[in-house]
Structure 1
Amino acid sequence: MAIIIDNKARIREKAKELFIQLGLRRVSMDDIANSVGMSKKTLYQYYTDKETLVAETIEMILKSNSINCETCREKAKNAIHEGFLATASVSDMMRHMNPVLLLDMQKYYPLAYKKFLQFKEDFLYNFLRHSLEWGVRDGLFRKDIDVNFVSRLRLESIHLPFQLSFYDAMKTDLGTLQEEIFILYLYGIATPKGTKMINKYRIEKQKPFTDDNK
């Protein structure tokens, strides 16, 4: 049983690398088998179809992201610091991500896309809402903002870099686009006290969390 679990984890990790680089649709089971160093017949002993592998790999990525977000919250000094830490962590991964990944998921892999939507609504929305409420309490974000509305606005803005027409027009990587959108979002809701804090953290570049510095 331990060998099976280990091999499945190894397959998912290699699949993740290929999916991030190339998107979901362009990667075949042959590609994954070759990357892992096993025959396709052996691969099918662990994953009988690509849709299941895609769904479990996306679930692995989402779980890792949620853990990173919680780690950022634990280490953050305030809501703005939390946002910078979380954005640095996500942007680091997204610098190497193919923007077609989300579109592929939506069009061709409904099970994986359902997991993504559930993560977005159940975890990410509440994470953003908590951060806004924290910032308002500390006087970093304006008291007149509608927390539910702004949480939703920020949540949906995360999709923007994955719009291929927008991505192509901006001529930069997904990570940089996410960082710039995040900065504009912060300045739009910040108090004068919060603006000073934003300027401070922009100068003090935040490092993404790794196994070495968690």
Structure 2
Amino acid sequence: MEEVKKRIVIGASELFHKYGIRSVSMDDIARHLTVSKKTIYQYFKDKDEIVTLTLRAHMEMEMKEYDEVFEVATNAVEELALVSKCMRKDFKDMNPSLLFDMQKYHPGAWKIWLDFKNEFIKDHVVSNLKRGIEEGYFRKDIDVEVMAIFRVEQVQLAFDDSVFPSDQFDFKKVQMQFFNHFVHGIVTEKGLELFEAYLEKTLQQE
């Protein structure tokens, strides 16, 4: 991606992350980057294209980030602790209207998100659950497929303003409550003890 185009994608992504998609205009992006709107239109035909490319860039970054987690973790519980660390960083100051705006106004980007959720995230959850069961850290009676779907739908549910209004709930806290509830539902006693030790260690590093 050429430098100017990349800069526009990064700048737009910062605004979408903080304010949501619908409330950010092309003028806002231009002001944020101190460039003319004409410059932006030299690289993008419309806002929808910017949304799609910013999402693709974000997904690629997340895939790299989570792949690294699964490469370095020595067991399934450490994977969970490192994922928790990534989530605290990724969801910090994120506007929960992001997904609603995407679903309603940017169907192309919405499909990219659904594919990412239903394939990449779900596959990693399945792998983690299978590994944890084999290692004895997760309960043997878990239905891996059911729990993987449950987990990815939890992530999406936290974005739903009709369920968790942003003026009443802190988005990051909702996501972390879901995650911790999920973890406590799958671990054995041995797994929980190890998870809490890993979690304390990661929190101290932040």
Q: TM-score range by the shorter chain?
A: over 0.9
SS at match of 1:159: helix
Q: Percent identity?
A: 36
Q: Distance in 2 between matches of 1:58 and 1:90?
A: 17
Q: Please, what is the CA RMSD of the aligned residues?
A: 1.7
Residue in structure 2 matched with residue 141 of structure 1 by the alignment:
138
SS at match of 1:48: coil
Residue in structure 2 matched with residue 150 of structure 1 by the alignment:
147
Q: Is 1:36–2:14 an aligned residue pair?
A: no
Q: 2:164 aligns with which of 162, 167, 175?
A: 167
Q: 2:10 aligns with which of 13, 18, 24?
A: 13
Residue in structure 1 matched with residue 129 of structure 2 by the alignment:
132
Q: Distance in 1 between matches of 2:161 and 2:7?
A: 31
- The answer to whether the 8 A contact 1:99-1:174 is kept is yes
Q: Distance in 1 between matches of 2:173 and 2:69?
A: 19
Deviation, 1:152, is 0.6
Q: Distance in 2 between matches of 1:60 and 1:81?
A: 27
When the two structures are superposed, what TM-score results if normalisation uses the length of structure 1? Answer: 0.90
Q: Distance in 1 between matches of 2:28 and 2:191?
A: 48
Q: Distance in 1 between matches of 2:154 and 2:195?
A: 19
SS at match of 2:158: helix
Q: 1:46 aligns with which of 43, 57, 63?
A: 43
Deviation, 1:172, is 4.5
Deviation, 1:170, is 8.7
Deviation, 1:183, is 1.1
Q: Is 1:68–2:65 an aligned residue pair?
A: yes
Moved over 6 A (4+): none
SS at match of 2:164: helix
Deviation, 1:95, is 1.8
When the two structures are superposed, what TM-score results if normalisation uses the length of structure 2? Answer: 0.93
Q: Distance in 1 between matches of 2:185 and 2:51?
A: 37
Q: Distance in 2 between matches of 1:157 and 1:83?
A: 15
Deviation, 1:59, is 0.8
SS at match of 2:23: coil
- The answer to whether the 8 A contact 2:82-2:202 is kept is no
Unaligned segments of structure 1, at least 5 residues: 209-214
- The answer to whether the 8 A contact 1:87-1:178 is kept is no
Cα distance, 1:173–1:163 mapped onto 2, change above 3 Å? same
C-alpha distance after superposition, 1:146-184 (max 9, x if no partner): 111111111111112212144338945322222221111
Residue in structure 1 matched with residue 197 of structure 2 by the alignment:
200
1:16 corresponds to which letter in structure 2? S
Cα distance, 1:152–1:170 mapped onto 2, change above 3 Å? farther
SS at match of 2:38: helix
How many residues are matched?
A: 205
Q: Distance in 2 between matches of 1:181 and 1:17?
A: 25
C-alpha distance after superposition, 1:127-164 (max 9, x if no partner): 11001011001000111111111111111111122121
Cα distance, 1:166–1:73 mapped onto 2, change above 3 Å? same
C-alpha distance after superposition, 1:4-48 (max 9, x if no partner): 711111000000110011100110011111111211111100011
